[in-house]
Amino acid sequence: MTNCPTDTTNSSVNYTLEVAKQEYQYNYDHIPPAAMVNELPKREKPSKEWYLLLVKSIRLLFVNIVITNRGNQGNKGVRDDVIKYILEVIYKEIKSIKIGEDNKIIPFFFQLFLNQQLLLTQELLNQGIPGDFREIDELFVSILRENGLSILKDISKQALKVLKEGSPEGHATSLEDYQKLFSYKELFPETGGIPSIAYTFAEDEVFAYMRVAGYNPLMIQQVSSLDERFPVTETQYQEVMGNDDSLAAAGKEGRLYLADYKILEGALNGTHPKYQKYIYAPLALFAVPKGSDPNRKLRPVAIQCGQTPGADNP
């Protein structure tokens, strides 16, 4: 017979609950009515190593965007191109601040500072990037020292403006246009700058893998059979999975999976910003091969464009 908890046990449990309540303050307004924690306890927050990886990834993406939008500026390396872009942003931001004798808002010492940094930035742009980057380091440090971190908010607006100047426009017309978005080779050094999946994304195995490892892994569900909306035949199934397998066997053994996008049926086709767009509500059938190999991989069997079978939904 199980003993009932003693008063001591209850006190311990109550104390633990009270501590937890203090650590986890829930907010029901972020995504009503779900309970969302306002802030994680310190021990559960990302580690310093995680933040370092995040900063490194952001830096790589930033460099890639700069090189992709602005192209090679004729400097010796990627670093020079990026620093030149940063200098242009700072130069235009400083230049945009109106300085004059009648300006009572900006103190006199700050006017001198702006004039000095404007000349230094312009000189760096005209003469090129120095090898030791000492002047650039001094420029950044002095700007932050005089203005604080608040200047970054204003500079970020200028940064976006400069980044868009001369950047590629229009719609992509080929896969090569998308590959050009990855100009910074250090993003994916193993594959020459392009993600490895760019070479395999159209393969059946990768397509199936993305149903469970992609950005929406919750759409696929295990099914035991198909309904009248998706009349896949045994012949069609066996063309993919082999003659020694069947729909019925796969369903009975728990090897049959369906991605049903019925939620998209009836959705309005938009035109933002100016071109007509189209959306379907497809059905996609997947299956795991029969056998006992634990490394068997999910395979795509059939896809139907809409919820109703027919000539309009192949």
pTM: 0.57
The whole-angstrom separation of Cα 151 and Cα 140 is 11
pLDDT at 263: 92
C-alpha–C-alpha distance, residues 237 and 247, integer Å: 7
- State the alpha helices, DSSP H only, in the chain: 7-23, 48-70, 78-96, 108-127, 134-147, 151-164, 175-179, 204-213, 234-241, 247-252
In angstroms, the CA 119 to CA 113 distance is 10
Give the pair of three-digit tokens for residue 141. Answer: 């440090």
Amino acid at 176: E
Closest CA to 261 of 218, 206, 207, 210: 218
Tell me 189's DSSP state: G
Angle, CA 225 vertex, CA 221 and CA 228 arms, to 5°: 105
Give the pLDDT of residue 222: 96
Cα 114 to Cα 95: distance, rounded to the nearest angstrom = 8
Instruction: Using the structure block, give the residue that is written with the tokens 């012949």.
Output: 235
- Look at residue 234 in the predicted model and tell me its pLDDT: 95
Output the six-digit token pair for 88.
């242009």
Which tokens go with 6? 């003693």
Residue 283's beta-bridge partner residues?
260, 304
Q: What is the pLDDT of residue 272?
A: 81
Neighbouring C-beta atoms of residue 257, cutoff 10 Å: 22
Residue with tokens 């053994």: 253
Q: Indicate the SS3 state at residue 257.
A: strand
Rounded Cα distance between 304 and 314, Å, is 6
> So what's the pLDDT on residue 4?
46
pLDDT of residue 122: 59
Q: Phi first, then psi: give them for residue 103, nearest 5 degrees.
A: -80, 110
Neighbours of 171 (CB within 10 A): 6
- Would you call 217 helix, strand, or coil by DSSP? coil
Contact in structure between 22 and 16 (CB atoms under 8 Å) = no
128 phi-psi bin (left φ>0, alpha ψ -120 to 50, beta other): left
pLDDT for the residue numbered 67: 75
Tens-level pLDDT at each residue, the chain (314 residues): 444 444 545 677 776 777 777 778 888 888 888 888 888 888 887 787 887 777 777 777 777 777 777 765 555 566 667 777 776 776 676 666 655 545 544 454 455 555 555 555 555 555 555 555 455 556 555 555 555 555 556 666 667 777 777 676 777 788 888 887 777 777 777 777 788 888 898 899 999 999 999 888 889 999 999 999 999 999 999 999 999 999 999 999 999 999 999 999 988 888 887 888 889 999 999 999 999 888 899 999 999 999 999 888 88
Residue 92: the pLDDT is 72
Instruction: Give the dihedral of Cα atoms 215, 221, 222, 225; nearest 10 deg.
Output: -130
pLDDT of residue 1: 45
User: In the numeric block, which tokens belong to residue 85?
Assistant: 């872009």
